[in-house]
Structure formats: structure tokens, C-alpha cells
Chain A
Amino acid sequence: MKMTRSWDRAFLHKGLGVRRILILAILSGGIWAFVQLDLNPADLVPTSGGVQVAWAFFSRALSPAIVYEAEFVPSDTPPLLWKALQAAGTTVVFASAAMSLALIWGLLLGFLASSSWWVGDPAGGAGNVTAFVRRSIAPVVYGSTRVLIAFMRSIHELIWAVLFLAAFGLSHLSAVIAIAIPFGGTLAKIFSEMIDEAPRDVAHAFRGSGASATHVYLFGLVPRALPDMTAYSFYRFECALRSSAILGFFGYPTLGFYIAASFENLHYGEVWTYLYTLLVLVILVDWWSGALRKRFVV
């Protein structure tokens, strides 16, 4: 009797109860997933062929190739390290071209999707027309923008790439647009949230001194959200680098292309050379955005 009561109390306790339910949900979800996928730990032991591949591959982790491993290399091929650098350059070019498009769409749609653009007037007291616009048109605009953003985001960049591959054929520009669409959607979503959640102090002060709603938005709200937006853009740039590298698997000349090619030719040392190049690239941008964030927070 006593035990049930204390159990009841523990379960009804607000924080603990919900948390326990969530933990149980996650764990049972995990069990369901393992059963559904037929994930057997015994399958984790690679087949004998797999062991050989694994050993051959991972043993080269500490000795990446400096020169080509192929026995015959055409005389006009650039040295391996130079080629890795070129591939890294292409990866950066694809990523930054995609980011430039994504930023334009992200800012545009982000502004449209932020509700403060429409209802951000803390003083209230608008004329009839403005009130009408605010009540009826604004929700339609930011509502439909949010639907568009959700659609752009919900399809993965690689699937956009496959769609464009089917629609246009292999074209470098279509790879860039494939990355830019979901990234633009994500940027728009996060930007609009950042603007809506930005501190209102400056906006209130501006409004109080008689600035128009547009001025309040552009000079009171957006600058307050700008540091966060910049830091987030850098983080997305890092993600864009990874995506652009992956697009190589679909035939674009970024790092993924050479990784796949070297791996399939069993030149594992070269694979590590390219992998480390990607690693350095990503870590560099990661460090950069981290340093930037630190400076903004302080």
C-alpha cells in the first residue's frame, strides 16, 4: 500500500513523470527499431572478406598515401597531394556557391516567415487598413511561406540532386542548386525564429521614439538577431562542405568522387589522403565558426 503511493507520487511528479515517459518511449522505440531491422549483434562481426577489407583499410589510417598507389599513372596527371588540394578547392567552390544562393533565399523567405515582420508593433494603435492587413493577409503570407520552407527542407539535398540529374542531366549548376534549396529552407526557418525571438529592448525604444514599423523591424530587430544569424550561417557552411563532398558520389568532381574511386580501386591509402583533406577543411570551418560564436557571446 505504502509502496504504491510513493510510486504514484513519483510518477505524478511533474518533471519526473514526463521525463520517464519520454525515456521509456525512446527505449521502446529503439527496441522496436532493432527488431524491425533485424539488427543482430552477430552480424557486426564482419565476414572474413570484410575483415580483410577492414584491416587493409583501417591499417592505412596512420599512413595515408603521398603518391598514387596505382602502378600505371598517366604522365599528365597532377601529383596526388595537388589533386587532393584541387578536389578540396572544388568542394569549397560548390559549397560556397550553394551557400550564396541559400543565403539569398534564406534571408528573403526568413523575413517573410517571421511573424514579427507583421505583428511586431509593440505600441499597437494602427489604422484600419493596417489592422486589416495584419489580421487577414499577414497570416496567409507567413503561413504559406512556412509551408514552402518546410517543403524545401523536407527533401534531402542528395534527393534534390537526383531529381535535377533526371531533369537537367549532369550539370555543375544543378548540384549547387540541389544543395541551395534545402539549405535555403533551413536558413529561412532558423532566421525567422531568431528574428522572432530576438530581444525586444531596442525595438521598444525605437517604437517609443516614433519610428515606423518597418524601421523598428530593420533597425531594431534584425541587427539584434544578426550575430546569431551570422554564426549559424557559418555552421551551415560547414554542413554545405560535407554535402558538397558527398555530391562527388554522383559524379561531381568534389572530394567524394575521388574517395569513392580510390576505394573501389582498393587504393586505401589514397582514400585516407582525401578523407584527411576533408577533415582538415571541416575542422577549419568548425573552429572558425566556434571562434566567431565565442566572440559574439562575450
Chain B
Amino acid sequence: MSDRELKLRYLRSQRPRSRFAYWSALLLLVVMIGSWFVGDFQVEDFLSERRLQNLTRFLHELIPYPLQERDFNLGIALKWAGEILAEKGWSAMVVTLAISVAAIVLAGFGGAFFSLPAARNFTSPEPFLPSLRNPHWAWRFLWRALVWMTRLFLIFVRSIPEYMWAFLLLAVLGPTAWPAVLALALHNLGTLGKLGAEVVENTEPSPLSALRGLGASHLQIAFTGLFPLTFSRFLLFLFYRWETCVREATVLGMLGIVSLGYWIQDSRARNHYDEMFFLVLLGAALVLIGDLLSSLARETIRRFS
């Protein structure tokens, strides 16, 4: 074996790799392929004659009703679209947007609050600086317990999907906009709390240690140290989560809150597929506008902080 080959072989054996990552990827692959055998998906049936006929009929009905049996005419199309917009589309878009904004503001406050007790370095008897006296083990344990309780809470509210929260809250709170807003707020509070805690844990600790050395309390460190240091990153996450809020707010309407989803479900129930498709496109436009605004805001934050 030549010198070069030996060297190559050595380099190959030294490459960074992780057995865990390898097996994880392999397992995921097996599960993904296996699901096609286990799941009762009936791929042939999907393309059966009956379903294809259904599809052509459906595609035909997507054409706006006044245009269906005639040549395309922009004036008629615009009039048709304008009527739907005036009747429900516009107000539904405003409600959808308002739900997402109200939810993300609530989630922002909640997430910022809960990110503190979820951060291991902050929530300890001696944050950022070892104290002279060693704290009692029970005291230490209590602080640690607070961290795990908060994390448990955050993971609980995060693991239950928004739609399910809305479904459950609707039964409790009745038909106001609150169930939708709270559902989105709860789920995103869980996410923002977790992300915020990670930000706090990854903050450069020296200014905070200095504050602690001057005798600052937990609250004082949080307000004068952590808040200014972590705020920009937290805002980045806030806008990133807002994008998903807009998407979800559209859908939550299907449970009966009058956002876009409500009218989509409504026009489907009345078999007005042309109207339904138009409303779906309105929702898509709203999501795209939200994405655009959010990326603009994030770009601004990145540039100026």
C-alpha cells in the first residue's frame, strides 16, 4: 500500500462522525420507507377512474362561477372577486391578521417571562458568579426544581398543537376570539420560552457576573443585564414565530372563529369551490405578506443591533 493511500485511509478514519447521528438517520429512513408498507395508503385507488373524474369536476368548478360557461372576461372576474372581498374576504383577512398579532404579543410577554426560570444559569442560588458561602443543598435543589417545573410546563404547552388547544378552549370559553388567540399564544409561548431560555444560557456571562459582583439581585440582573443583552435575539425569534402564527390563524377559523378558515370551510360546505379557492389564495397572500414583513423586521434588527 502506497504512502498516499495509507495517509488517505488514516484521514478517513479520523473524520468526525457520530454513531448516534448515523443510526438516527438510518432509523428515520427505515421508518419513512416502512410507513409506506404499514400504512393503508392505497396508491392505486388514488388514481382510479372515479377519483380522476372527481378531480376533473373539481378543477372545473375552481373557475369562477360567472365565467364557467363563457370566454374569459377580466371585468366579470374582477367584479366576482370584488364582491367576495367586500362581503367577507377583506374582513376575514383583517381578523386573521389581528388574531396572529394579538397572539404573538401575548406569547412574547409570556415567553420572555418564562424564559428566565427555564434558564439553568440564571435560575440558581448563585447566578453567574459563585458565592462565598456554599448554598445549602436543599436550597440549590429548590432552584433546580423550579427550572424543571418551568421546562415541563413549556414543553407541555408546546407539544399540544394550536388547533387542539383551540378546540379544547372553545368548549370552555365559548365563541369569542379568545380561544383562537389563547391557543396560538400558549403554543408559541412554549416555543418562545424554550428559545429564550437557550438565548439566556448562551449569553456572554461576564457583564452579568460583574452585575452580580456588585450585589445585584435576580430581578436587577434580569432587567439591567439580561434584558438589553438578549432582547434583539428574542425579537428575531418573535418575528419568526409570528410567521407561523399567521398561517395557523387562517386555519383556526375552521373551528368557528370568523377568520379566513371559517369562510373556507363554509364555502366548501356549500360546494362553492370557486369561492373557496379564491379565499385560499387570499390566505396564501396574507401569509406571504406576513413572511415579507417579518423578514424585513428581522433584517432591520440584525443590521442595527
Contacts and interface: CB of A to CB of B under 8 A. Distances in A.
Interface of A: 14-15, 17-19, 22, 26-27, 29-30, 32-34, 36-40, 43-44, 46-47, 50, 53-54, 57, 89-90, 92-94, 96-97, 99-100, 103, 150-151, 153-156, 158-159, 162-163, 165-169, 171-174, 176, 227, 230, 233-234, 237, 242-243, 245-246, 249, 256, 259-260, 263, 275, 278-279, 282-283, 286, 288, 291-292, 295-296
B5 to A, nearest CB: 18
Contact of A29 (B101, B172, B250): B101
Nearest to B255: A249
Contacts of A256: 163-164
Contacts of B97: 33
B121 to A, nearest CB: 17
B287 interface: yes
Interface stretch (B63-71, B78-86, B174-182, B205-213): B174-182
B74 interface: no
Contacts of B195: none
Contacts of B51: 168-169, 171
A97 B264 contact: no
B181 A97 contact: no
A37 B99 contact: yes
Contact of B284 (A154, A165, A243): A154
B32 interface: yes
B95 A37 contact: yes
Interface in B20-43: 20-21, 24-25, 28, 31-36, 38-43
Given A22-B235, A53-B171, A295-B20, 12 more contacts: A30-B106, A34-B102, A44-B173, A50-B174, A53-B172, A96-B35, A156-B287, A162-B264, A166-B58, A172-B42, A245-B164, A279-B160
A97 B32 CA distance: 6
Given A27-B105, A94-B39, A15 B172 contact: no
Contact of B102 (A33, A151, A237, A296): A33
A29 B297 CA distance: 14
Interface in B217-231: 231
Contacts of B273: 166
Contacts of A90: 39
Nearest to B159: A282
A43 B178 contact: yes
Nearest to B171: A53
A17 B163 CA distance: 37
Interface residues of B, number: 80
Contacts of B41: 97, 172-173, 176
Contact of B251 (A151, A156, A259): A156
Contacts of B42: 171-173
A245 B24 CA distance: 23
A288 B20 CA distance: 10
Contacts of A168: 46, 51, 54-55
B235 to A, nearest CB: 7
A173 B43 contact: yes
Contact of A33 (B99, B108, B159, B176): B99
13 contacts: A22-B235, A27-B105, A46-B172, A100-B32, A100-B33, A154-B283, A154-B291, A156-B248, A167-B54, A230-B25, A275-B164, A278-B160, A295-B20
A96 B235 CA distance: 32
Nearest to B108: A26
Interface in B73-110: 94-95, 97-99, 101-102, 105-106, 108
B268 interface: yes
Nearest to A54: B172
B105 A30 contact: yes
A54 B261 CA distance: 26
A100 B32 CA distance: 6
Nearest to A58: B172
Contact of A18 (B33, B95, B264, B300): B300
A47 B170 CA distance: 12
B58 to A, nearest CB: 4
Contacts of A17: 304
B283 A156 contact: yes
B95 to A, nearest CB: 7
B167 interface: yes
Given A18-B300, A18-B301, A171-B42, A154 B24 contact: no
B130 interface: no
A30 B245 CA distance: 14
Contacts of B199: none
A283 B232 CA distance: 28
B3 interface: no
Contacts of A150: 288, 291
A36 B39 contact: no
A88 B239 CA distance: 32
B170 to A, nearest CB: 10
